[in-house]
Amino acid sequence: MTLPLTLREAADALRARRTTSVALTESALERIRALNDRVGAFIAVTDDVALAAARRADADFASGVDRGPLQGIPFGLKDILATRDAPTTANSLVLDRAWGHGYDAVVTERVRAAGAVILGKLVLSEFAIGAPDASKPFPVPRNPWDLERTPAGSSSGTGVAVVTGMVLAGLGTDTGGSVRGPAAACGHTGLKVTFGRVPKWGCVPLGYTLDSIGPMARSALDCALVLNVIAGHDRRDPTAARAKTADYAAGIDGGVRGLRVGVPVPYFYDHPALQPEVKAATEAVIDTLAGLGAEVREVALPHADLAGHANGITMMCEAFAYHRVDMASTRWGDYGEGVRQLVARGALYSGADYVQAQRFRTWFRREAARVMSEVDVLVTPTTIEPAQRAAEMDPLKRLATPSYTGVFNLLGYPALAIPSGVSPSTGMPLSAQIVGAPFAEATVLQVGHAYQQRTEWHLRVPPIAAEVGVA
The 3-state secondary structure of 401-415 reads CCCCCHHHHHHCCCE
Confidence of residue 470 (pLDDT cuts 50, 70, 90): low
Q: Are 108 and 82 in contact (CB under 8 A)?
A: yes
User: Residue 132: pLDDT above 90?
Assistant: no
Confidence of residue 415 (pLDDT cuts 50, 70, 90): very high
**CA angle, 49 then 51 then 57, to 5°:** 105
Confidence of residue 167 (pLDDT cuts 50, 70, 90): very high
pLDDT of residue 400: 79
The H helix count followed by the E strand count for the chain is 16, 11
pLDDT of residue 28: 97
* Lowest mean per-residue pLDDT among 59-73, 159-173, 185-199, 397-411: 397-411
Catalytic positions, please?
A: 78, 154, 178
How far is it between the farthest Cα atoms of the chain?
61
pLDDT of residue 64: 98
Residue 22: count other Cβ atoms within 10 Å of its Cβ: 17
Q: How far apart (Å, rounded) are the C-alpha atoms in residues 216 and 228? A: 13
Confidence of residue 471 (pLDDT cuts 50, 70, 90): low
Confidence of residue 382 (pLDDT cuts 50, 70, 90): very high
Closest residue by Cα to residue 39 from 148, 201, 185: 148
- The average pLDDT across 132-160 equals 96
**CA angle, 124 then 126 then 129, to 5°:** 90
User: Residue 466: pLDDT above 90?
Assistant: no
- The average pLDDT across 168-196 equals 98
Residues in Cβ contact with 362 at an 8 Å cutoff, skipping those fewer than 6 apart: none
pLDDT of residue 3: 78
Q: How far apart (Å, rounded) are the C-alpha atoms in residues 373 and 71? A: 38
H or E element, residue 321: helix 304-327
Q: How far apart (Å, rounded) are the C-alpha atoms in residues 190 and 182? A: 8
- The average pLDDT across 104-120 equals 98
Confidence of residue 162 (pLDDT cuts 50, 70, 90): very high
pLDDT of residue 398: 74
pLDDT of residue 368: 98
pLDDT of residue 1: 66
User: Residue 116: pLDDT above 90?
Assistant: yes
Q: How far apart (Å, rounded) are the C-alpha atoms in residues 358 and 103? A: 34
- Write the burial class of residue 453 (CB in 10 Å: 0-12 exposed, 13-18 middle, 19+ buried): middle
Q: Is the dihedral of CA 217, 114, 129, 34 positive or negative?
A: negative
* Lowest mean per-residue pLDDT among 107-116, 131-140, 230-239: 131-140
Q: How far apart (Å, rounded) are the C-alpha atoms in residues 38 and 19? A: 28
Give the DSSP letter of residue 175.
S
- The mean pLDDT of the chain is 96
Per-residue three-class SS string for 222-286: HHHHHHHHHCCCCCCCCCCCCCCCCCCCCCHHHCCCCCEEEEEHHHHCCCCCCCHHHHHHHHHHH
In terms of DSSP bridges, do strands 42-45 and 117-122 run parallel, antiparallel, or are they unpaired? antiparallel
Amino acid at 181: G
User: Residue 10: pLDDT above 70?
Assistant: yes
User: Residue 399: pLDDT above 80?
Assistant: no
Confidence of residue 455 (pLDDT cuts 50, 70, 90): very high
- The average pLDDT across 81-92 equals 97
Domains along the sequence of the chain with CATH: 7-466 (3.90.1300.10)
Order across the sheet with 260-264: list the strands.
Answer: 42-45, 117-122, 74-78, 169-174, 212-217, 189-192, 415-422, 429-436, 377-381, 260-264, 295-299
Q: How far apart (Å, rounded) are the C-alpha atoms in residues 170 and 459? A: 16
User: Residue 63: pLDDT above 70?
Assistant: yes
pLDDT of residue 197: 98
pLDDT of residue 418: 99
- The average pLDDT across 395-420 equals 92
Q: Are 443 and 414 in contact (CB under 8 A)?
A: no
Q: Is the dihedral of CA 396, 397, 400, 405 positive or negative?
A: negative
Q: How far apart (Å, rounded) are the C-alpha atoms in residues 104 and 83? A: 4
- The average pLDDT across 284-311 equals 98
pLDDT of residue 130: 86
Pick the most confident of 9-23, 124-138, 327-341: 9-23
- The average pLDDT across 54-65 equals 98
- DSSP assignment string, 71-127: TT-EEEEETTB-BTTB---TT-SSS-TTTTTT---HHHHHHHHTT-EEEEEE--SBT
Q: Are 153 and 178 in contact (CB under 8 A)?
A: yes
pLDDT: which is higher, 397 or 378: 378
pLDDT of residue 393: 83
Residues in Cβ contact with 108 at an 8 Å cutoff, skipping those fewer than 6 apart: 77, 81, 82, 83, 84, 118, 202
Residues in Cβ contact with 152 at an 8 Å cutoff, skipping those fewer than 6 apart: 159, 181, 182, 184, 185, 186, 383, 387
**CA angle, 79 then 84 then 86, to 5°:** 50
